[in-house]
Structure 1
Amino acid sequence: MTNWHPQIPDGQGPLYIRLADRIGEDISTGTLAAGTKLPPQRDLAYDLGVTVGTIGRAYALIRQRGLVSGEVGRGTFVLGSAYEPALEEDPKPDLDRASRTPGGATVPPASSWLQGAMTVPKDTAFAGTRISVPGPETIRFDSTSAPEIGQAEAICRLTSEITREAAHDIASYTRTVPDGWRRAGRLWLARGGWEPSEGSIVPTTGAQAAIMAIIAATTAPGDQIAFENLTYSSIARGGALAGRRPVQVARDDEGPLPEDLARVCAQKHPKLLFVMPSMHNPTVGMMGAQRREEIVAVARQHNLWIIEDEVYGSLRTTGLTPIAALAPERTFHVGSLSKSVTAGVRGGWVSSPLSHAQRVYTAHKMLTGGIAFLLAELSARLVLSGAADEFRTKILEEIAARHVLVKEHLGAYEMEAAPDAPFLWLKLPEPWLSGTFKAAAASENVLIDDEDEFKAGRSGNVYHRVRIGVTNTMTHMETAKGLKILQDLLLDHCVCYDSFE
């Protein structure tokens, strides 16, 4: 606890924003050091003579800014970040809705369904915030991009070929989709005996842009999107920023519980479901064949679109039938090169229901400004030349080698891990809490993700876990150094598990 007592700055704008600005300034100047616990909301409200709601909104805002981490039942702790004050309050999102349903429903014209599809509110949580750049000594376990295993040579060779052969295309905007881009997408997305048709393929600038384009093409501001209560929350946050409303579905080790998904559909009527069936982030779990069929049955009953995120799935051979093969009329199957080949090229593809391929293409173009010819052509040639598959094989070997280091340093602790997964889901021993362990690691220049990063919304669920990515570090020596720092922080709270067997 701290004796810190802020004064709300004079000026215009809501009290909670001015208070959040003051807290940010005190963190930036070191008045509030990393790891400091902020006063309970009721205590601070009493001291400042404001409502508890004002304090709650201020704390929520500084958490959105990445300055603090909340621990259920424990309080709010400072993470620390460079910061400048915000300018004005968010307007209320436009909640006008347009009914869109899969399977033959009347679709509004493009001018109607794209208008306001991704409206971004005026800045509050993001206004004036400097981009935080980790120092050169920082060990980044908060990323799962493909490791560097010699991709540059092939990328250099293929880029040189493209610049010689397609100088005019590089100099201009991309207005068409070459057959090779679709062919590459069809090959890269194929799995489990399924191969999408080339007509369903939409090339994209990575998976995140693809998913946001799908959201724009299938929902309207105010529509609800269903997420597992533990998931890759950047999609939920991106959807919320665009005026969509995330709703949470209970999950187990295989993914969404069908009975809870049916309940959510009956009560809240979401338009879209986001799932990661082959390798769930952050739990490393996999959805079995029966669960996939049960999810499809609920989706058909409630007329629900499905986004099947297979970005990590490209690293895992399962033999399981993709959801897109079980329900091609309502499933958007998304893949990219970021985890299994190279993240910097930003290559991705969607296999869309044929009824919506053009809509996703148009939405992607309007949201991103259009795909870059050089990157899309490079992505396609990496796949078609066989280089992408070669890199994937080498990257899987590298991931397995790094998990040997994980087992050496953290093998005494409970975790969800697999030799094909670029991350692990570590259970913290007593007395560690997720947010405080993240802050402690950051104070040692090691960045990890706490459990709050994977919650689709406010939740009473507490896991006491952190996600540790092992592929972004440049060398085995750097990886081992970071893991040793985490091992030292965990002290001697050691219970042995065979997590890798």
Structure 2
Amino acid sequence: MTNWHPEIPDGQGPLYIRLADRIGEDIATGALAAGAKLPPQRDLAYDLGVTVGTIGRAYAVIRQRGLVSGEVGRGTFVLGSAPEPTLEEDTKPDLDRPPHAPAGSASRATSWLQGAMAAPRDTAFAGTRISVPSPEAIRFDSTSAPEIGQAEAICNLTAEITREAAYEIASYTRTVPDSWRQAGRIWLSRAGWEPSEGSIVPTTGAQAAIMAIIAATTAPGDQVAFEDLTYSSIARGAALSGRRPIQVARDDEGPLPDDLARVCAQKHPKLMFLMPSMHNPTVRIMSARRRQEIADVARQHNLWIIEDEVYGSLRETDVLPIAALAPERTFHVGSLSKSVTAGVRGGWVSSPLSHAQRVYTAHKMLTGGISFLLSELSARLVLSGAAEDFRKKILAEIAARHTLVQAHLGKYEMESAPDAPFLWLKLPEPWLSGTFKAAAASENVLIDDEDEFKAGRSGKVYHRVRIGITNPRSREETAKGLQVLQDLLEDNCVCYDSFE
């Protein structure tokens, strides 16, 4: 424990931001050395005369800036950048030492477990500079559709659109052609269910669609329910817009109906976000019975539901969507990003008829409106059959990469499936989620730790990481990255005694 005690600088802006800036300055000047443990939040709050929430937000900011690493049960530790090697160190290489690890470390895992390296993050802020991963990094931290030859079809369709719709491309999009809604009905249909006429709202991808739904159904201060393990970017986006995320306990299928009923009775959320067909990050599917139970609870408590089926388009199932069970309160969301192409930003919402116009208006106000070129391209990809052809090819590519996963990581416990573009890997002792992510990053392999999937503060520790396998450019690059992760996992036995 360090004797460090900050003084919060005077000035404009929120107190927690000024505190985060001061902590960053102290790390930069060496007042807080690499490996130093920050005071517990409650203790520092008492010393500074502020709320625990202020300290928690400040710690969250510096963690997002890549300056510290937090592990439940251990505390928050300062992460250091690598020192410049001396000539003596440079001429006496430590063959067991990873790039940037301190000289003389017992093993790679030892130095990372001591917080010697921070993982780069796409949106991590250090002062006014945005940290960008190396172009050579192997990106297992994304699950966009793999490149399987989409460019030629996109080029041909785009050429058609530019020839046929020069005026529409030059202007703002003020109307929604029937073909866009027809494409949405086709793409969102599943298990014998088809969205109703008039329910389809074209959107700029799924994330924009979901934020529009939140804006259309809730007001600042309202509570939005999330599973305690979920795609947390939606929870963060809800919080950023002034809504209050709350958590519902889950099991392997999804949210527990009894706990959802309890949360609804006690906290009265207006909306819940779900991923029933392929949960991110666990890969699991929600049974027909559980979907009906969730729909019943939602109807009893007048709860809106967002059914995120972005990954669901990759999974063949005969289980009806929740939108078929409770169409009057369910927003069914889908896009092309995982199963066709992410760069086109094509998405649709099947909305309850009472709210279709509200979602359209909210989406326009939040995004500035949809692009005619991209929306028309998305519709033509679906209506021409090209989207379905790409989906089948992408499923085949995912299955091939899943075989690589089994070859490199098959002996470790994981949640995975041949149709899933990611896996949920259980880490062996002594690895922790954050330190394994940092270790992989120092080897130029980017993955997501478990904190990326927590809807809020939680005492649950999974000791897992999510590894996306579709973003690398090729199977060869995928195998290369998996080999790095395999080597790290097998290195844990070397470091355990020295760490203790």
TM-score with structure 1 setting the length: 0.84
State how far apart, in whole Å, the 2-side matches of 1:469 and 1:129 are.
Answer: 29
User: 2:205 is matched by which residue type in structure 1?
Assistant: G
Per the alignment, residue 121 of structure 1 pairs with none
What is the count of residue pairs matched by the alignment? Answer: 449
Percent of aligned pairs sharing the same letter: 81
Contact 2:203 2:347 in 1 (8 A): yes
Kindly tell me: are residues 240 and 127 of structure 1, through their superposed partners in 2, closer, same or farther at Cα, counting changes over 3 Å? farther
Aligned to 1:131: 130
* 1:347 counterpart residue number: 346
Q: Distance in 2 between matches of 1:198 and 1:401?
A: 38
The equivalent of 1:465 in structure 2 is 464
**Counterpart in 2 of 1:489?**
488
Aligned position for 2:63: 63
Contact in 1 for aligned 2:9/2:19 (Cα 8 Å): no
Cα pair distance change 1:42/1:395, threshold 3 Å: closer
C-alpha distance in structure 2 between counterparts of 1:330 and 1:393, whole Å: 31
After superposition, the Cα gap between the structure-2 partners of 1:175 and 1:4, relative to the gap in structure 1 and judged at 3 Å, is: farther
**Any idea what the Cα deviations from partners look like across 1:313-348, whole Å, max 9, x if unmatched?**
000001111110111111000000000000010000
Structure 2 letter corresponding to 1:380:
A
SS in 2 for 1:255: coil
CA contact (8 A) 2:206 2:348 kept: yes
Alpha-carbon distance, 1:37 to partner: 5.1
Q: Is the 8 A contact 1:345 1:379 kept in 2?
A: yes
In 2: Cα distance, 1:52 partner to 1:361 partner: 40
Question: Within 2, Cα distance between the matches of 1:345 and 1:390?
Answer: 16
Once the 2 structures are TM-superposed, how far is the Cα of residue 260 of structure 1 from its aligned partner?
Answer: 0.5
Bigger mean CA offset, 343-352 vs 58-67: 58-67
Give the counterpart letter for 1:162 in structure 2: I
TM-superposed deviation, 1:485: 1.1
- 1:68-105 C-alpha deviation (Å, 9 max, x unpaired): 33211012245679xxxxxxxxxxxxxxxxxxxxxxxx
Contact 2:38 2:78 (8 Å CA) reproduced: no
What's the offset of the Cα at 1:131? 2.7
Question: Could you say what secondary structure the match of 1:333 adopts?
Answer: strand
Match of 1:426 in 2: 425
Deviates more, 1:211-220 or 1:54-63: 54-63
Q: Which moved more, 1:396-405 or 1:279-288?
A: 396-405
Alpha-carbon shift at residue 26 of structure 1 (Å): 5.8
CA distance in 2, matches of 1:298, 1:461: 25
Quote the residue 2:216 is aligned against: 217
Tell me, yes or no, if the aligned pair for 1:37 and 1:75 is still in contact at 8 Å.
no
Change (3 A) 1:247 1:313: same
On the 8 A contact 1:309/1:335 being kept in 2, the answer is: yes
Residues 1:72 and 2:72 are matched in the alignment: yes
Q: Which amino acid aligns with 2:134?
A: G
Q: Do the aligned residues in 1 keep the contact of 2:143 with 2:421 (CA within 8 Å)?
A: yes
Residues of 2 paired with 1:228 and 1:71: CA distance? 21
Cα shift readout 1:420-459 (whole Å, capped 9, x = no counterpart) = 0000000011111111111111111111111111111111
Report the secondary structure of 1:251's partner residue. Answer: coil
| Range that drifts further, 270-279 or 67-76 | 67-76
| Structure 1 residue 233, shift from structure 2 partner | 0.6
Tell me the amino acid that sits aligned with residue 479 of structure 1: T
Q: Kindly state the Cα deviation for residue 36 of structure 1 after the two structures are TM-superposed.
A: 3.5
Per-residue Cα deviation, 1:361-405 (whole angstroms, up to 9, x for no partner):
000001100000000000000000101001001111111111111
Quote the Cα distance in structure 1 between the aligned partners of 2:3 and 2:488: 27
* 1:137 shift after superposition: 1.9
The amino acid across from 1:20 in the alignment is A
Contact 1:42 1:52 in 2 (8 A): no
Quote the residue 2:408 is aligned against: 409
Cross-structure match for 1:41 = 40
**1:284 counterpart = 2:283:** yes
After superposition, the C-alpha distances for 1:238-294 in whole angstroms (9 at most, x for unaligned) are 001101111110001110100000000000001111100000000001000100110
Within-5 A mapping of 1:43-442:
45=44, 53=52, 55-78=55-78, 129-442=128-441
- Structure 1 residue 132: Cα displacement: 2.2
Q: CA deviation at 1:16?
A: 4.4
Alpha-carbon contact 1:329-1:353 (below 8 Å) kept: yes
Partner amino acid, structure 2, of 1:428: L
Q: CA deviation at 1:12?
A: 2.1
Q: Is the 8 A contact 2:41 2:56 kept in 1?
A: no
SS at match of 2:354: coil
Letter in 2 for 1:216: A
1:148: how far off?
0.6
* Cα separation, 1, equivalents of 2:156 and 2:30: 48
In 1: Cα distance, 2:454 partner to 2:471 partner: 23
C-alpha separation between the residues in 2 aligned to 1:47 and 1:18?
Answer: 17
Distance 1:132 1:247 in 2: 30
- Name the CA shift for 1:437/1:148 in 2 (closer, same or farther; >3 Å): same
> Which residue of structure 2 aligns with residue 100 of structure 1?
none
Alignment of 1:22 with 2:35, yes or no, is no
Distance 1:326 1:30 in 2: 59
- 1:224 touches 1:269 (CA, 8 Å); kept in 2? yes
**Structure 1 pair 401/9, CA: closer, same or farther in 2 (3 Å)?**
same
Task: Report if aligned partners of 1:8, 1:15 keep a CA contact under 8 Å in 2.
Answer: no
Give the secondary-structure state (helix, strand or coil) at the position aligned to 1:157.
Answer: helix
Shift of 1:22: 3.5
Q: 2:28 & 2:169 partners in 1: Cα distance?
A: 43
Secondary structure at the counterpart of residue 423 of structure 2: strand
Structure 1 window deviating more from structure 2 (131-140 vs 221-230): it is 131-140
2:87 alignment counterpart: none
How far is the alpha carbon of 1:476 from its aligned partner? 1.4
Q: Distance in 2 between matches of 1:455 and 1:363?
A: 27
User: Are the aligned partners of 2:65 and 2:126 in contact in 1 as well (CA < 8 Å)?
Assistant: no
Q: Aligned with 2:478: secondary structure?
A: helix
CA contact (8 A) 2:231 2:453 kept: yes
SS at 1:370's partner residue? coil
Contact 1:209 1:368 in 2 (8 A): yes
- Contact 1:432–1:464, Cα closer than 8 Å, also in 2: yes
TM normalised by structure 2 equals: 0.84
Residues 326 and 16 of structure 1: is their aligned pair in 2 closer, same or farther, counting only changes over 3 Å? closer
How much does 1:215 deviate?
0.5
Q: Which amino acid aligns with 2:161?
A: I
d(CA) in 2 for partners of 1:4 and 1:129?
Answer: 29
Q: Is the 8 A contact 1:41 1:55 kept in 2?
A: no
Write the deviation string for residues 4-54 of structure 1: whole angstroms up to 9, x where unpaired: 957647542566433411333466689978x84533337984998776846
Unaligned runs of 5+ in 2: 82-123, 494-500
Name 1:96's counterpart in structure 2: none
Alpha-carbon distance in structure 2 between the residues aligned to 1:323 and 1:7? 51
Unaligned runs of 5+ in 1: 82-124, 495-501
- Deviation digits for residues 199-255 of structure 1 (CA, Å, limit 9, x no counterpart): 100000000000000011111111111110000011111001101111110001110
Q: Are the aligned partners of 1:28 and 1:80 in contact in 2 as well (CA < 8 Å)?
A: no
